[in-house]
Structure 1
């Protein structure tokens, strides 16, 4: 296997590149499998750590109001204790591709941090179906100094997913108290809301590293919060968004108490009786 290194100075940082052949083989279904392996090798403190994150109270999902006489079985009320939250550090961890898949130092996929959506089939992919195994493009491995936070998510270009799958994880990083030098994120080709949010929160665009189809990064240490979708979007998520964004709202703007957001131009999950709902 050929291995070639060269250096580039950009924004005052030294970045090291290498030509590193070989597609990833295998995956960890969750970060806990990787943590177990660290423990078996007695390298857990040098290799990384998984810090549990408490999302707090039980989530109570009430039945929706409806004009129908009965409620769909999928919408019946229930309660759920949020689980699975964590912030992980991964020494020499890697990030690949435009969606920003997270890999171990050996190049194995960490699936619960690398969920992938297939727009054609309209479903989330299984671990063995991940593009890292089927679209590997043998990119140059770019080394990043310091601790680099990862906020990638396959749907982050979508406004809802930006709000609920990315921003709360920024708050998780802050709660962890672990400092980081930059943030790896997905590009946003559809609107300015990402840049507007960063400006609102005082985050410099120069600290953001965007993924792309040729991206392949390795950092001294990755800092990665768990995905919100794996914890069923607990009430903590909405509370956190309010704390992050409401202090920056335009207080003089006159707005209605409620708004209705139509999905009549969406490709999926459209209301079949929207005219009845809005009249």
Structure 2
């Protein structure tokens, strides 16, 4: 019986486990102030906020931070207006590539970055449970695994990218653009990349000529030390949904990579020249409770049903490039609107308790027409477990048809 099942049968074990973790960290934290080095015992001894503060760091700056403005969306929902209205303008983060002598990496989920003076780099150590710098969980480590040494390591480990299409395509993949823009020689490097060998991930690695043999997928036992650790900037360092966005260069990089002018035709299984597409979530989580009825309504309006999980990245790019209107429940498949032609209409359907601005922002940047549909009266007002709340969202078919009708005539 695994720990999760055990806790379901005996819930008090969760409280005991948390108390033991907290006690262990309290006892281990003073080790940070002892002499020595985390290579041999204890946690890192110093703290740097960012790579800019690291002695001996070579920085190649590629772009400054700037804000992006969003256009007010078309919506039927006062709730969407309120949620989107309170959000500040999103920020494109500074772009750079850092070369760190004696850099080290350990952990999973983006992991922790430690530099030659045994200092933890806080902004590149996202596996953290607090926003207070001095309380990063890495400082409570009793010991680290024995480091494996390499000459050159490219640290492309990206939080949440290992199993999520949006984070993989938007947070991880465009970091390769920074390496190319900085002129980094990647031919003899070890790559640190979080992934689960999902088809779209392997396809992407192949597109960039990254051999599988050169990729190390971090796990709990990973501790890598490099003569030179090369770290491209995080594009979305704190995963704050309200201000999340990406540079125009990153979006164009995706289009040029997966939608070349001479690219392949869509496969027989994909809609050909379909100007209206509906992204079905029938095979995934957070689908409509009345999925069949919604599909039938849209098919009568000339929509082709697309299952993104059945297509390669290149095939998805081709399908979205042909579309003139895209309808979907909020989900990672909408990442592909980056491949749409300017002027394409994107209709995103929200569960009332799960309204996120990702695709609104992306649509504004890609010069798409964006509309958000939400049925406010179904809001439950529950604050926890928001991902579960989005499951089983039912749509009022008549209300939805009335909202959709003027969008189809544009």
Please tell me the TM-score bracket, short chain as reference: 0.7 to 0.9
* 1:171-190 paired onto structure 2 within 5 Å: 171-180=177-186, 181-189=188-196
**TM-aligned CA distance change 1:186 to 1:81, over 3 Å:** closer
Q: Which residue is equivalent to 1:110?
A: 121
Q: Which residue is equivalent to 1:156?
A: 161
Q: Which residue is equivalent to 2:106?
A: 96
Richer in strand (by share): 1
Give 1:183 deviation, angstroms: 4.1
Q: Which residue is equivalent to 2:51?
A: 31
Query: Aligned partners of 2:108 and 2:91: how far apart in 1?
Result: 33
Q: Which residue is equivalent to 1:243?
A: 256
CA contact (8 A) 1:62 1:78 kept: no
**TM-aligned CA distance change 1:278 to 1:52, over 3 Å:** farther
Cα offsets for 1:139-169 (capped at 9, x unmatched)? 1011102x22110112111211111111110
Which structure is richer in relative contact order (CA contacts within 8 A, separation 6 or more)?
1
SS at match of 1:162: helix
1:52 aligns with 2:61: yes
* 1:161-240 paired onto structure 2 within 5 Å: 161-180=167-186, 181-189=188-196, 191-230=198-237, 232-240=245-253
Give 1:48 deviation, angstroms: 2.8
Give 1:68 deviation, angstroms: 2.1
Q: CA RMSD in A?
A: 3.3
Gaps (5+ residues) in structure 2?
1-37, 238-243, 278-322, 332-350, 355-384, 402-410
Query: Aligned partners of 1:69 and 1:165: how far apart in 2?
Result: 31
Q: When the two structures are superposed, what TM-score results if normalisation uses the length of structure 1?
A: 0.73
Query: Aligned partners of 1:136 and 1:190: how far apart in 2?
Result: 32
**TM-aligned CA distance change 1:67 to 1:93, over 3 Å:** same
Q: Which residue is equivalent to 2:27?
A: none
Query: Aligned partners of 1:55 and 1:243: how far apart in 2?
Result: 23
Q: Which residue is equivalent to 1:142?
A: 148
Q: Which residue is equivalent to 1:15?
A: none
Gaps (5+ residues) in structure 1?
1-17, 39-46, 119-123
Aligned length: 244
**TM-aligned CA distance change 1:132 to 1:117, over 3 Å:** closer
Cα offsets for 1:87-136 (capped at 9, x unmatched)? 10101111111233211112211111222366xxxxx7543443322345
Query: Aligned partners of 1:175 and 1:20: how far apart in 2?
Result: 37
1:275 aligns with 2:395: yes
Richer in helix (by share): 2
